[in-house]
């Protein structure tokens, strides 16, 4: 009887130990726990630089030049005129843009202004100012780079750049592009063509 009681007590004493052993069994989830993955940093896209604003139409795009003032340049020779002609030829196909003075677009006098500026000569901005700052030439005296004027109305002149062999280059009008034309074209023969050279490029003998 004593032995049976001892066995029962021993069993009861071991039971808490067995239960305690179960309570420390590590927890193993049936589904893996997803680790929080930090969201990738948003890609920073560098904004393209804004285009330069267009040159305003009208006189606001024109540098301040006295209409009767001569072009500003040292006495020069035909090399400057050749460079003017070559620069202008590279602009073929550039669209017409009223008030334009760069390869984004040209008006007629803007093409002249740009081509001479690239050759190192500052000229007046408008066709009327360019007319006043130049002297007439005979066709046989004209060199590539000289100016070609045609009357478009009683008060307005159109201007282009002579290329030689009866050809000239100009920015015609809205909706068109810089192009090469012929002086002996019937249209231009009706518009009082003049070929002129800027005062600053006339060398006294």
The catalytically annotated residue of 14, 22, 132, 170 is 170
Q: Is residue 108 annotated as part of the catalytic site, yes or no?
A: yes
For 125-159, the DSSP string reads: SSHHHHHHTEEEE-GGG--TT-EEEEE-SSS-EEE
CA angle 29, 34, 40 (to 5 degrees): 170
The catalytically annotated residue of 22, 108, 132, 191 is 108
| Count of beta carbons in the 10 Å neighbourhood of residue 97 | 19
Q: Give the list of residues 6+ apart from residue 70 with CB closer than 8 angstroms, or none.
A: 133, 198, 199, 200
Q: Is residue 170 annotated as part of the catalytic site, yes or no?
A: yes
The catalytically annotated residue of 14, 22, 132, 158 is 158
**CA Rg value for the chain:** 43
Going by their DSSP bridges, the two strands 167-170 and 179-182 should be labelled as antiparallel
Q: What residues are paired with 135 via a beta bridge? A: 197
Q: Which residues are identified as catalytic?
A: 108, 158, 170
């Amino acid at each position: 009887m004593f032995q049976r009681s001892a066995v029962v007590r021993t069993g009861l004493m071991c039971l808490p130990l067995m239960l305690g052993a179960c309570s420390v069994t590590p927890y193993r989830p049936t589904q893996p726990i997803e680790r929080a993955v930090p969201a990738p940093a948003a890609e920073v896209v560098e904004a393209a630089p804004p285009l330069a604003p267009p040159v305003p139409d009208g006189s606001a795009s024109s540098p301040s030049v006295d209409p009767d003032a001569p072009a500003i340049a040292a006495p020069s020779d035909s090399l400057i005129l050749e460079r003017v002609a070559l620069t202008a030829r590279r602009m073929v196909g550039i669209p017409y843009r009223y008030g334009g003075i760069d390869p984004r677009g040209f008006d007629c006098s803007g093409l002249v202004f740009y081509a001479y500026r690239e050759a190192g000569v500052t000229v007046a901005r408008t066709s009327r100012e360019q007319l006043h700052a130049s002297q007439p030439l005979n066709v046989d005296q004209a060199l590539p780079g000289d100016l070609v004027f045609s009357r478009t109305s009683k008060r307005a002149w159109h201007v282009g750049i002579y290329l030689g062999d009866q050809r000239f280059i100009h920015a015609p009008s809205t909706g068109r592009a810089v192009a090469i034309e012929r002086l002996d074209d019937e249209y231009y023969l009706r518009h009082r063509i003049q070929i002129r050279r800027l005062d600053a490029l006339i060398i006294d003998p």
